[in-house]
Amino acid sequence: MTNYVLRRLLSIVALAFGISVLVFLIIRLIPGDPAIALLGTNAGDASLVARLHHQLGLDQPVHVQYLRWIGNVLRGNFGYSYGDQRTVSSLLAANFPATIQLTLAGLALSLIFGSLLGVLAAVRRNRPADTVTMGVALTCMSIPSFWLGLLLILLFAVKIPIFDVVGGTSLKGLVLPAVTLALGSIGFNARFVRSSVINAQQQKHVITARAKGITAWQVFRKHVLRNAMLPILTIVGLQVGQLISGVVIVETVFSRPGIGRLLVQSILSKDYLTVQAVVLIIAVIYAVTNLLVDLLYPVLDPRVGNR
């Protein structure tokens, strides 16, 4: 087990290194000069442009820029955002909690309602309830989040003013963004849970339990549901990454503070250091979450650890 954990930790380090190199190079392929974008109307002064190039380190070779940046990151220094006139670390600290709040809310909604719909469809397999539930799940997966967000704002913030329109960080302001973020995952979870429950119902120990005269509810609760829910853990790691990437759109649509909206604004303003920091952190969170899932799975299912 120790060797496995060490191998996974090394893979996370390698992944973070690869992501850092890719984002460092790709962001520099975006057309335009960040110094000119920052100077705005003063960009006509060549001396000011040259001075800002020097301050940003853009006058150095690319490999020197990367080594300088990654060295600072390893020391906990993500650099300085000239666009916001503050350190990148302070920007991340100010926006990260709102993103975590939205991601956890979306994950909770997707797991709860996706599991309920999946179990209902499996129990009513090949019946009208199954067809309707899977139709709802497919619809949830097909609706674009940006369109759904605008529709929810129109219905529940403008026509029926129940929730905050945009920018809300309270519980009322969290509802619409969380629903928008979670809807696609709800449909995916419903289809996945349905398949898991149907597969669990066909296992030999379940058939044996029924033959012994155990009530249908006891068989379902002790033998079917428990085994069917376990595979959900394997997709939680994937969904966390999907939800964190989805906040880029949701936070922008709802003008909600967070690293997703910060990323969009930083790309538009060509704030290299902020973009690199946000993408790197998202990649590390995704990798660490999947590592935790891999470590928890043998604990919840000892059969996996014995293989």
**Tokens linked to 160:** 């029926």
**Tokens linked to 29:** 């392929």
Q: Where are the domains of the chain?
A: 34-77, 93-305
What's the helix, strand, coil split of the chain in %, to 5? 80, 0, 20
Q: Give pLDDT < 70 ranges for the chain.
A: 1, 165-169, 298-307
> In this predicted model, what pLDDT tens digit does every residue of 111-147 receive, in sequence order?
899 888 888 888 888 888 888 988 888 888 888 888 8
* Closest to 149 measured CA to CA, from 239, 264, 246, 267: 246
- pLDDT at site 109: 92
Q: Rounded CA gap, 265 and 120, in Å?
A: 42
Domain 93-305 is of which CATH architecture? Orthogonal Bundle (1.10)
| DSSP code at position 42 | G
For every residue of 112-130, DSSP letters joined together read HHHHHHHHHHHHTTTSHHH
* Closest to 118 measured CA to CA, from 243, 236, 225, 210: 225
Alpha-carbon torsion, ordered 67, 72, 78, 84, to 10 deg: -90
- pLDDT at site 90: 92
Task: Provide the residue type at 157 as one letter.
Answer: A
